[in-house]
Amino acid sequence: MLPEFRNEPLTDFSRTDNQNSMRAAIEQVRAELGRKYPVVIGGYHYAGPDYFKSVNPARHSEIIGEFTKGNKDMALAAVKAAAQAFETWPWTAPWERARYLLKAAAIMRRRKFELAAWMIFETSKSWVEADADVAEAIDFLEFYAREMMRLSLPQPVTPYPGEENMLYYMPLGVCAVIPPWNFPCAILTGMTSAAIVTGNTVVLKPASTAPAIAWKFFEIMEELSLPPGVLNFLPGPGGAIGDTIVDHPQTRLIAFTGSKEIGLRIQERAAKLNPGQIWIKRTILEMGGKDFILVDETADLDAAAEGIVAAAFGFQGQKCSACSRAIIHEAVYEVMLGKIKERVARIKVGPPDDPANTMGAVIDAAAYEKIYSYVEIGRKEGRLIAGGNKGPESGYFIEPTVFADIKPDSRLGQEEIFGPVLAVIKCRDFNEGVSIANGTEYGLTGALFSRSRERLERGRWILHTGNLYLNRKCTGALVGVQPFGGFNMSGTDSKAGGGDYLLLFTQAKSVAERF
Ligand code: NAP
């Protein structure tokens, strides 16, 4: 009997032993940088001929690794291998599949510091953020293992005289798993393990800016001797191989997390029938956000400022749940700006392998240019309160930047920036604050700080986001506690880490036998 699911505790870095373990892991990973990695299809490792590099965003000269660049032929072969593995994998017992996840969780727990260190180098996560990413990956494994055991039990149906009736959940087929780079351990592990534990087989195409941590996950699954072809590892540019995987007639479902643009592209392509295809493809699409924290005049202003700064600048603002709009009641507006500014001044930007740096670099050159272009737009659209500059040239650093007096319908008020740029918007009253909060095409996360019971109650229903938080920040959803997914252009609301999630990877079959 498994113990009840509990979230993995976060590492306490105030303890010297944990600091020493993290430092040792950083040195271990540093010594392993620059290696070459294969594509793995049907259990066979293929190295080259072409490679692409993963680089440290905080130190351009540092090569994390060179990854075999998946091409169209490899993509076709990977789908074929997954289809072949699907002939047997669904027939393994659900408990057996669940145990692969439990065992992977145990290995990740043992290698927690090392996995975090890979993300510190590859994605410029701070110690705390990298540790939380690994903890969330462990949570997904533990949670979905238990969920599969629950789903494999007889499902309730109404008794009918003279018949035995049952309903059970079957896998769908080959699942393309396409994760983003921003939670490169947690989201990748969550989507992949959900597909595998429900009996599907997977073509995993990791994000090109975070293939090393994806490889570490694959390595763990390989170490567990997952049967060949159940999980195929196919790094490579999404623009070159993504369509091939999505369009393939043997691809049955696509689990994607990333930008609105690519999500919609996948949706459109998946809807098109290709020769030989005998099903309607299913898509699970989790996309961007323009998340808000709304603060009214009754709120605890220190708690609100703390929440805004943590949610806006944690991991450089590169969380889908990041607070990108602070909507503040005019009566407390200037006071709040002062409190936000004061807290932003304490953030130290620099390479996060040094724990004194609490904010690292943004992910790559394209993000750096795009985010900085929004800083330039912000200078025209608002009043600069903090930041506004690039950081040290050795990496893609941008200071935590705050613009006040942003209009709700301006570019900073509407577009996902995905970087350390916060737009502060003034509202006249609570009702106007709500309509500003709801006034974008997205609906992922939001928070309300208020002491008014009436507004907190109303806010529960009228603030239109998949994840809403009252009197706390809008980031940091926990598996099982706050199932995560968004409304409108933020995606299909496929609540990851929730009790409904695995169903998305299954189809229900009803069987009746007449006695
Ligand atoms: P992205 O550019 O859309 O990339 C996501 C994944 O799609 C990557 O693996 C990418 O591969 C791949 N891809 C690119 N072109 C493709 C194509 N034509 N066909 C199939 N796949 C393709 O997003 P990102 O920059 O990695 O992530 C940031 C975005 O993710 C933000 O918008 C953020 O809000 C969103 N996000 C949402 C959630 C959520 O739960 N709602 C969670 C995290 C992030 P390459 O890397 O090779 O291009």
Q: Which two tokens stand for residue 193?
A: 């393990």
| Choice from 55, 67, 285, 287 to test ligand 1 binding pocket (greatest atom count within 8 A of CB) | 287
What CA–CA distance (Å, rounded) separates 230 from 253? 15
CB neighbour list of residue 112: distance below 8 Å, 6 or more residues apart: 11, 131, 134, 135, 138
What CA–CA distance (Å, rounded) separates 75 from 174? 13
Considering the candidates 286, 416, 427, 474, report the single residue annotated as catalytic: 286
CA dihedral over 295, 296, 301, 303, signed as positive or negative: negative
pLDDT band for position 154 (cuts 50, 70, 90): confident
pLDDT band for position 417 (cuts 50, 70, 90): very high
pLDDT at 184: 98
The predicted model gives 200-204 an average pLDDT of: 98
How do residues 213-260 score in pLDDT, each as one tens digit? Answer: 999 999 999 999 999 999 999 999 999 999 999 999 999 999 999 999
Specify whether the CB–CB gap between 51 and 66 falls below 8 A: yes
Catalytic annotation present for 297? no
Q: Could you tell me whether strands 251-257 and 44-46 are parallel, antiparallel, or unpaired per DSSP bridges?
A: unpaired
The predicted model gives 414-431 an average pLDDT of: 98
Percent of the chain having pLDDT more than 90?
A: 99
CB of 395 shorter than 6 A to ligand 1: no
Burial class (CB in 10 A: 0-12, 13-18, 19+), 278: exposed
Residue 441: pLDDT above 90? Answer: yes
CB of 116 shorter than 6 A to ligand 1: no
pLDDT at 2: 87
Residue 120: pLDDT above 90? Answer: yes
Residue entry with tokens 């009436």: 454
Beta strands in 122-184 (DSSP E): 163-171, 174-178
What CA–CA distance (Å, rounded) separates 261 from 448? 29
What CA–CA distance (Å, rounded) separates 198 from 202? 11
What CA–CA distance (Å, rounded) separates 325 from 149? 41
CA of 179 to the centre of ligand 1 (A): 6
Q: Which atom of ligand 1 is nearest to the CA of 490?
A: 41
Residue entry with tokens 């293929």: 46
The predicted model gives 419-425 an average pLDDT of: 98
Output the DSSP codes for 316-332. Answer: GG-STT-EEEEEEEGGG
How do residues 53-106 score in pLDDT, each as one tens digit? Answer: 999 999 999 999 999 999 999 999 999 999 999 999 999 999 999 999 999 999
How do residues 344-389 score in pLDDT, each as one tens digit? Answer: 999 999 999 999 999 999 999 999 999 999 999 999 999 999 999 9
Specify whether the CB–CB gap between 284 and 440 falls below 8 A: no
pLDDT band for position 426 (cuts 50, 70, 90): very high
Catalytic annotation present for 474? no
Specify whether the CB–CB gap between 141 and 197 falls below 8 A: no
First to last CA, the chain: 34
Decide: helix, strand or coil at residue 255.
strand
| Choice from 253, 260, 283, 320 to test ligand 1 binding pocket (greatest atom count within 8 A of CB) | 320
Residue entry with tokens 């947690």: 186
CA distances from 155 to 317, 421, 502, 503 (A): 42, 48, 14, 13
Nearest CA to ligand 1 atom 16: 238
CB of 207 shorter than 6 A to ligand 1: yes
CB neighbour list of residue 503: distance below 8 Å, 6 or more residues apart: 151, 169
How do residues 462-498 score in pLDDT, each as one tens digit? Answer: 999 999 999 999 999 999 999 999 999 999 999 999 9
| Choice from 262, 265, 364, 475 to test ligand 1 binding pocket (greatest atom count within 8 A of CB) | 262
Residue entry with tokens 């393309």: 176
Give the closest residue to 179 by CA, choosing from 190, 165, 194.
Answer: 190
Percent of the chain having pLDDT more than 70?
A: 100
- DSSP state at residue 179: -
* Omega of the bond leading into 154 within 30 degrees of 0 (cis): no
CB of 444 shorter than 6 A to ligand 1: yes
The predicted model gives 419-442 an average pLDDT of: 98
pLDDT at 1: 79
Considering the candidates 320, 323, 427, 474, report the single residue annotated as catalytic: 320
How do residues 307-332 score in pLDDT, each as one tens digit? Answer: 999 999 999 999 999 999 999 999 99
pLDDT at 328: 98
What integer best gives the mean pLDDT of the chain?
Answer: 97
238-247 vs 72-85: helix crossing angle, rounded to 10 = 40
CA of 302 to the centre of ligand 1 (A): 35
pLDDT at 228: 97
What CA–CA distance (Å, rounded) separates 414 from 27? 42
CB of 211 shorter than 6 A to ligand 1: no
